[in-house]
Structure 1
């Protein structure tokens, strides 16, 4: 009997500590509302603001749910062939709190930073094959491969490779389950190479070898 009482008490305490957050998504209403979800440990209530620009136009999404602490309060960007991605995440830790809609970072239009990355873009596919490289700008000093999928009553996909900020690379992955659709973002990053294309680099290598022989 004592063990049963302890189990019930423990369950009540655990339930009382669960963080309840709003769960919704919208591409038109920035102040989306919906049901609630209990977050796992080491999570906070979050609002994720994502903008993706491709040849098909601009799409903006707001996701309210739970995010791990390491993903909270981040902003970042990525540039890929003919498009870009901007993201911002805000968080709060009070029960049933509603984080403000975070402001997206400025467009990355600053000077080249001397780094380069392989580039590709594929719409309606989870994979793309790079066939060239691009020069990175601003604080986008990492190379990133992103795959986004929407699975549910609507299905779509997007894949690209290009330059990205370190802050986006640290997200690793995000999963949003709202309104009958599961949206997944997977980020795979590595350091960018020096901003010289192979065609420009080869003559320098040949010149250095000839100079070494002459000396």
Structure 2
């Protein structure tokens, strides 16, 4: 009898797990507003997502798009970092039906008028120190001043030391590098958001 009960419970759990799971399109593309991929089963997610990322470093710009299961990132939010002539912006849009993330997606335009606080601003690629008397005004009133020193693997797959000071959205500071898919943090030396 106990064996029958255990088998029944296992089958019920399997049915519930299958009902709650969602199918999402999965793909990744550089310098495009869309990508096309295969449909995948998302056992640990109830939402699909489309993530659009924009990297601007000096005169170079790279746009990345990713479609996948949502691993529990907040939806409908824009995360960003601005420091000197380097800008990173990520927007996550989600939906809750099978393969609902097939459309193309464009990053919404940025509000040009800066309304936030003034933060120290500098950027050093390849160094672990950033000293500058420059400042910048943040875009939104709730933005934070960021100081970051660490090693990061960028969209070009190179690992570099980065040091920067500038503005960041509160969610960008909360989720840190987990919110960005085009860059992967290798080591944090210092991260402060004030």
TM-score when normalising by structure 1: 0.66
Residues paired across the two proteins, number: 179
The aligned counterpart of 2:101 is: 98
Of stretches 87-96 and 159-168 in structure 1, the one that deviates more from structure 2 is 159-168
Structure with more of its chain in strand, by fraction:
1
Unaligned runs of 5+ in 1: 177-181, 192-215
The aligned counterpart of 1:135 is: 135
Kindly indicate whether residue 179 of structure 2 is the aligned counterpart of residue 174 of structure 1. yes
Unaligned runs of 5+ in 2: none
> CA shift at 1:10, angstroms?
1.4
The aligned counterpart of 1:16 is: 19
Report the secondary structure of 2:114's partner residue. coil
Distance 1:107 1:37, change over 3 A: farther
TM-score when normalising by structure 2: 0.72
The aligned counterpart of 2:57 is: 54
> CA shift at 1:62, angstroms?
0.5
RMSD in angstroms over aligned alpha carbons? 3.2
Distance 1:175 1:80, change over 3 A: closer
Distance 1:185 1:83, change over 3 A: same
> CA shift at 1:44, angstroms?
2.4
Aligned with residue 115 of structure 1, among 111, 115, 118: 118
Report the secondary structure of 2:50's partner residue. strand
